[in-house]
Each structure stands twice: as C-alpha cells, then as structure tokens.
Copies of this chain bind each other. A is one copy, B any other.
Amino acid sequence: MPRVSQDHLDARRRQILDGSRSCFARFGYEGATVRRLEEATGLSRGAIFHHFRDKESLFLALAEDDAHRMAEVVAEQGLVQVMRDLLSSPRPPREAEHPADWLGTRLEVSRRLRTDPEFRARWAERSQQLTQATRERLARQREAGKLRDDVDIDVLTSFLELVLEGLVSHLAMGLPADDLEPVLDLVEETVRRHRRGS
C-alpha cells in the first residue's frame, strides 16, 4: 500500500474544514450532525474522524483556522477591516454563499462561550491569537505615526474587540446592518487620528 503523502493529508484536512464550515454556519453546532457533515464535506464519517477526534475537535480546529485567518487580515489591514468583511458577508439565517464565511463560525463561538464553560476553557488560549495580532498591528501603526498616542494600546485593543463583539451580536440578532459602514469609519478614526479637546 503506498504511503499517503503529507500534501494529500493536508488537502484532505482542508477539504473537511471548508466543507464543515458552511455546515456549522448553516445548522449551528448541535444541528451539524455527522450525516450533514458527511454531505457537506463529501467524505465518510470514517474519513472525517480519521483527521479529527470528534465533532468538538473539528469545530475547535475550524474556529482556530478562522482565528488564524482573521489574525492575518488584522496584521495586514487591521481589525476594522475584519469588521468590514463581516458586514459584507452573507447574513444568517440566509444560507451562506461563500464556504469561507467567518461569521457563522464566529457566531457559534460566541454562543458556545456564553453557554458552555468547558468550551470557554478550551477556547481561551486560542482566542489570544486575535488579541495579540491586534495589539501588534496597533504598535506598528503607532510607530508609523498613524495611531493616536494619548491612549494606551491595550485600551485601543479592548475597544476594537468590544466593537467587533457588538457587531457579531448585532448580525446574529438579524438587525439591519446597512447603515453600519459610517459607524465603522468612526471606529477606525477613533483609533487612528490624534485629537484635541473642543
């Protein structure tokens, strides 16, 4: 029997992650049954759980994968760009058109953080990635003279994360989001520019 190459394993893993992402986004964690995961990935349960120990591990890997990609966007373009991407992504409960939709996973993460203390503990270490990327980006922006310098970087980071969480929650509640672009402009400006009192 030929040895399975690492490339093949990586590709298979990617196939499972991308397929299950839309499945979780569409049906939620509980609703994403093994049968639906099979359909969404085009693979058997045997193949899926060869790569991931169980559904929980698959979901965590997915959330981690998304956090990693969000951190990459943050490093390049900042956390406000992540928010703009969320605004332009398809809304639940409408079915996701892009398989690479972050919002669905992010919503599930938020929901499970609220309701599942065990998940909260497992997620805690992974969630540092986005905070760290945001902090580093802001530090670089400050060095380049693009950031206001009268507020601590940790405060600016927490501010941006709070707005992101509000946006996720807003979208999750199905509230209208058409008018949020100028709000994000305001958020970006708050972090960026210097200001003087009136």
Query: Residues on A close to B: CB < 8 A?
Result: 110-111, 113-114, 117, 120, 145, 148, 151-152, 154-156, 158-159, 161-170, 172-174, 179-180, 182-183, 186-187, 190, 192-198
Contacts and interface: CB of A to CB of B under 8 A. Distances in A.
A172 B166 CA distance: 12
Contacts of A179: 154-155, 158
15 contacts: A110-B173, A114-B173, A151-B186, A154-B179, A155-B183, A158-B183, A159-B183, A159-B187, A162-B167, A163-B166, A165-B169, A165-B170, A190-B190, A195-B195, A195-B198
A interface SS class: helix
Contacts of A169: 110, 114, 165-166, 168-169
Task: Tell me how many chains of this kind the complex includes.
Answer: 2
Contact of A196 (B113, B166, B170, B195): B195
A54 to B, nearest CB: 23
Contacts of A168: 169
A120 B174 CA distance: 9
Given A120-B174, A154-B179, A169-B169, 20 more contacts: A110-B169, A110-B173, A114-B173, A120-B173, A145-B198, A151-B182, A155-B183, A158-B179, A159-B187, A161-B166, A162-B167, A162-B180, A163-B166, A165-B165, A165-B166, A166-B167, A193-B197, A193-B198, A195-B195, A195-B196
